[in-house]
A and B are shown apart, each in its own frame.
Chain A
Amino acid sequence: MSRRPFVRPVSRTHWYFKHPRYLRYMSREVTCVFIGAFALLLLCAVERLSEGQAAYESFLAAITGPWSTLGLSVVWIFAVHNAISWFNVTPKALPVQIGEGFLPGRFIVAAHYAAWILISLAVLFFAGVL
């Protein structure tokens, strides 16, 4: 073994700017911040709901407005980014074996997209949007 091994200097905090692939990886990882923030918003909604009608309606009024529209739009973009990137790796996570071979990945991805669309439409219908 060399006494002076070559160690490529890698920044601990900026390495993901070195290649677009690293940046795409990090963009998928940071979606969790927005999923977590939305879970906390849901928790707030449930807490206000348990306090009664006046408390819940003041919560609804508090999240109405341009700033929450902007914030929730950003959350929505990251939620969609998480969904698309999650579905696109499903053939790696859930390979379906048929006899000796495997079901082509595009069918597994397509099945997830179909389920996503159906579930989203069902929720919109149930919520009274459609």
Chain B
Amino acid sequence: MAKSNKPIVWSLFAAGGTLAAMLAPVLVLLFLLAAMGHAPGLLSYAQLYAFAAHPLGKLFLLTVIALFLWHAAHRLRVALHDFGLRQDRFVAVIVYFVAATGTALSVLYLARI
């Protein structure tokens, strides 16, 4: 049987899509309130720092950032094909590289908090 990495990226896409469906609207809303000058308490430095300093808070932020990125990367790869860009291998390398880099950076930044 031919080896394929499709199940891995597809499961990250599906998990990220479900997490994004459940959480993205409300999380964007928190930042939208901040943009309008009514930053919620959680987005204040003291509260967000305390949240990110807790292991469960770190796990939450890492999961959200990484799965959103891998979801977006895989869907963007397919969407770019639909938009007429047929260099799939090149596109795949770029989008997965960005997702992997973002995942690694979020681990690095969270470790510093």
**Does B94 sit within 8 A of A, measured CB to CB?**
no
**Does A92 sit within 8 A of B, measured CB to CB?**
no
CA gap between A75 and B23 in the complex, in Å:
13
CB neighbours (8 Å) of A120 from chain B are 25-26
Q: Judging by beta carbons under 8 Å apart, are A35 and B71 in contact?
A: yes
Query: Nearest residue in B to A86 (C-beta to C-beta)?
Result: B21
- CB contact between B26 and one of A26, A86, A119 (< 8 Å): that residue: A119
CB neighbours (8 Å) of A80 from chain B are 25
Q: Judging by beta carbons under 8 Å apart, are A79 and B35 in contact?
A: no
Q: Which residues of chain B have a CB within 8 Å of any CB of chain A? A: 14, 16-18, 20-37, 39-43, 45, 47-49, 52, 61, 64-65, 68-69, 71-73, 75-76, 78-79, 82-84, 86, 102, 105-106, 109-110, 112-113
Q: Which residues of chain A have a CB within 8 Å of any CB of chain B? A: 12-13, 16, 26, 29-33, 35-36, 38-43, 45-47, 49-50, 53, 56-57, 60, 63-65, 68-69, 71-73, 75-76, 79-80, 82-83, 86-87, 93, 112, 115-116, 119-120, 123-124, 126-129
